[in-house]
């Protein structure tokens, strides 16, 4: 893709460029606070319907593709993205202000996610096959032949995230898991990084063509944010939504999806302050490392990570004072770094002003402003646990490098405070080495147990003696949580289980063998591991069921 300013680029609908008729947009280089890169034409609502129609047309052929063919397609998509990696990263740096090392890591994560879901598709566990053969002689009533599997929901609309231009965007986890499930995808490109989005979209479209799949399996659309988003979610051909962004944006999509004649699920990741609870035993030693780790986790990527820790609970007393002093010193020595967009920067500044205006909240320290107008100084504030408990606004997310230190008198106060928090993506507990949680000994063991029991009801991931930023992509990860962390706390947007969002179960009762779909046929043509009569039967080890 040429990035010269004299060329207008367009949406990709079923692999072909389509010129929009609703004006154009350009990215803003946040480091210079100036328009940058080529223009991109914007689709009107009628043109968006071309993409959803193509996705619906592609669904019949794509959902029946074999596990091996689907896996090979996802692996090719990963390879295509890596082949364009240098150009993708160069454009992403210009459009987001993120450093090269961060984007290199994110590109690798994007490719690895696609390969993870290739493994998921190939293994086939997500088909959830359960077979109960007929028992015609069972008393008092015979049992029919019952065969259950999961089906893909249909075309999925995915919204690219501002803070992850690759891993949560065009070919990110939502797209990868939906494609692995057998759902065509229509991606709404984020207008903050349009050139990055197009390059990744071209790689995905090429992979679709490489494997001879229906062209409508993937489309990338550009449009005016609210209008095109509402048009996508209200389109009757769209059957589910993947979204990463603000609570306001996510709840607006949820309302539209719920108001449709046929309501559909919206899987939105929206808001989290990711509290960190430091128990007294944790600051008996190693306070400098504790302060370093917290500030690094908070300040990385200008605080624009969805798992950045915005709350730090620290005990009162001289040990706690020392830890807070070290956190303040380290954060005050840091300079602001460029935020993703002027609007995000403005919201961060306004959020800090709201936090600072609450009675009982005081500023402890702040760093220096960075270069340019979109690099505000990191800042740390403090309050006591009583003020925090009676001030719900102190739990609101400030998307950026701003944190609130909450001082508590006794660890016994923490479970009730934790129980009143909004839903979170993560919650962290720090406990000292002298508290042996494996054997149940140590001064803080019971406090940790009580706190864990409260936090597991409020967060999708509870971690001990670590930092929440840096989400591992694998089989066991959960990146979700109760509302407003996500719109549906039963789901995850990271990890192998993300595929389950885009599937539904169906049962075939007494269907003739010749008419059964491949996953539930007696001779198991897809070689899946299945449950037969309540027992797990590993692929290749069963006779005809």
Whether 205 is in a domain gets the answer yes
Whether 235 is in a domain gets the answer yes
269 is catalytic: yes
Shortest CA distance to 94 belongs to which of 278, 338, 387? 338
* 176 and 282 assigned to the same domain: no
345 is catalytic: no
* 141 and 188 assigned to the same domain: yes
* 428 and 445 assigned to the same domain: yes
Query: Among residues 449, 464, 479, which one ends one of the domains?
Result: 464
Quick one: 217 exposed, middle or buried, by C-beta within 10 A (0-12, 13-18, 19+)? buried
The DSSP code for 143 is: B
Shortest CA distance to 14 belongs to which of 185, 219, 199, 213? 219
Backbone angles phi, psi at 312, to 5 degrees: -130, 115
* 314 and 213 assigned to the same domain: no
Whether 531 is in a domain gets the answer no
* 300 and 447 assigned to the same domain: yes
Question: 362-388: per-residue pLDDT in tens?
Answer: 999 999 999 999 999 999 999 999 999
Domain holding 305, by residue range, is 276-464
Whether 306 is in a domain gets the answer yes
Number of domains into which the chain is organized: 2
Backbone angles phi, psi at 319, to 5 degrees: -65, -45
Question: 436-445: per-residue pLDDT in tens?
Answer: 545 455 779 9
Residue 535 has pLDDT above 70, yes or no: yes
* 204 and 75 assigned to the same domain: yes
Place of tokens 């449950």: 531
Question: 246-281: per-residue pLDDT in tens?
Answer: 999 999 999 999 999 999 999 999 999 999 999 999
Residue from 269, 352, 422, 542 carrying the catalytic annotation:
269
Q: What is the mean pLDDT of the chain?
A: 95
Q: How far apart are CA 245 and CA 158, in angstroms?
A: 11
Whether 515 is in a domain gets the answer no
Confidence band, pLDDT 50/70/90 cuts, at residue 464: very high
Q: Which stretch of 269-273, 443-447, 511-515, 538-542 has the lowest confidence by average pLDDT? A: 538-542
Whether 187 is in a domain gets the answer yes
Residue from 183, 306, 345, 403 carrying the catalytic annotation:
306
* 49 and 191 assigned to the same domain: yes
Which CATH number fits the domain that encloses residue 181?
Answer: 3.40.605.10
- pTM for this model (two decimals): 0.95
**For residue 439, what pLDDT is reported?**
47
Which residues have a Cβ under 8 Å from the Cβ of 515 and sit 6 or more positions away?
none
Which CATH number fits the domain that encloses residue 402?
Answer: 3.40.309.10
* 447 and 348 assigned to the same domain: yes
Residue 115 and residue 241 in contact, taking contact as beta carbons nearer than 8 Å:
no
* 33 and 142 assigned to the same domain: yes
* 250 and 341 assigned to the same domain: no
Whether 511 is in a domain gets the answer no
- The predicted model gives 176-202 an average pLDDT of 98
Question: 392-428: per-residue pLDDT in tens?
Answer: 999 999 999 999 999 999 999 999 999 999 999 999 9
Whether 532 is in a domain gets the answer no
* 391 and 444 assigned to the same domain: yes
Question: 29-86: per-residue pLDDT in tens?
Answer: 999 999 999 999 999 999 999 999 999 999 999 999 999 999 999 999 999 999 999 9
* 331 and 266 assigned to the same domain: no
């Amino acid at each position: 893709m040429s990035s010269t300013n004299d060329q207008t680029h367009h949406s990709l609908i079923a692999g072909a460029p389509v010129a929009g008729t609703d004006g154009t947009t350009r990215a803003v280089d946040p480091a210079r606070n100036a328009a940058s890169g080529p223009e991109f034409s914007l689709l009107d609502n009628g043109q968006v319907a071309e993409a959803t129609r193509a996705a619906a047309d592609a669904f019949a052929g794509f959902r029946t593709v074999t596990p091996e063919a689907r896996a090979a397609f996802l692996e090719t998509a990963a390879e295509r993205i890596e082949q364009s990696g240098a150009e993708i990263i160069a454009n992403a740096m210009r459009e987001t202000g993120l450093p090269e090392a961060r984007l290199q890591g994110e590109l690798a994560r994007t490719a690895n996610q696609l390969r993870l879901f290739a493994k998921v598709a190939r293994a086939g566990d997500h088909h959830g096959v359960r077979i109960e053969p007929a028992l015609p002689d069972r008393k008092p009533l015979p049992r029919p032949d019952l065969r259950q599997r999961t089906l893909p929901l249909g075309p999925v609309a995915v919204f690219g995230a501002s803070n992850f231009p690759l891993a949560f965007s065009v070919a990110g986890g939502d797209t990868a898991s939906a494609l692995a499930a057998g759902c065509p995808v229509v991606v709404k490109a984020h207008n903050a990084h349009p050139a990055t989005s197009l390059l990744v979209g071209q790689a995905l479209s090429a992979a679709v063509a490489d494997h001879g799949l229906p062209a409508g399996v993937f489309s990338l659309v550009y449009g005016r944010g609210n209008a095109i988003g509402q048009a996508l979610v209200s389109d009757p051909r769209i059957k589910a939504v993947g979204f990463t962004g603000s609570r306001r944006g996510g709840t607006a999509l949820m309302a539209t999806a719920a108001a449709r004649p046929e309501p559909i699920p919206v899987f939105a990741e929206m808001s989290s302050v990711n509290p960190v609870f430091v128990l007294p035993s944790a600051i008996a030693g190693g306070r400098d490392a504790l302060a370093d780790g917290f500030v690094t986790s908070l300040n990385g990527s200008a605080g624009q990570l969805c798992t950045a820790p915005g709350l730090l609970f620290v005990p009162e007393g001289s040990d706690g004072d020392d830890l807070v002093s070290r956190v303040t010193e380290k954060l005050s020595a840091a300079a602001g770094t460029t935020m993703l967009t002027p609007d995000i920067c403005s919201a961060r500044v306004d959020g800090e002003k709201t936090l600072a205006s609450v009675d009982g909240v005081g500023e402890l320290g702040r760093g220096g402003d960075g270069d340019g107008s979109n690099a505000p100084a990191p800042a740390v504030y403090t309050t006591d646990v009583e003020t925090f408990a009676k001030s719900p606004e102190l739990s609101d997310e400030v998307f950026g490098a701003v944190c609130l230190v909450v001082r508590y008198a006794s660890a016994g106060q923490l479970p009730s405070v934790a129980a009143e928090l909004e839903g979170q993506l993560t919650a962290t507990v720090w406990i000292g080495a002298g508290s042996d949680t494996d054997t149940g000994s140590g001064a803080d063991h019971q406090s940790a147990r009580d706190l864990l029991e409260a936090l597991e009801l409020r967060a999708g991931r509870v971690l001990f003696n670590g930092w929440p930023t840096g989400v591992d992509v694998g089989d066991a990860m959960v990146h979700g949580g109760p509302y407003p962390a996500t719109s549906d706390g039963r789901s995850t947007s990271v990890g192998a289980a993300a595929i389950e969002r885009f599937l539904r179960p169906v049962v075939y009762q007494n269907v003739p063998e010749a008419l059964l779909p491949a996953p539930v046929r007696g001779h198991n043509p897809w070689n899946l591991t299945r449950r037969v009569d309540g027992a797990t039967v590993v692929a290749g080890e069963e006779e005809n069921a």
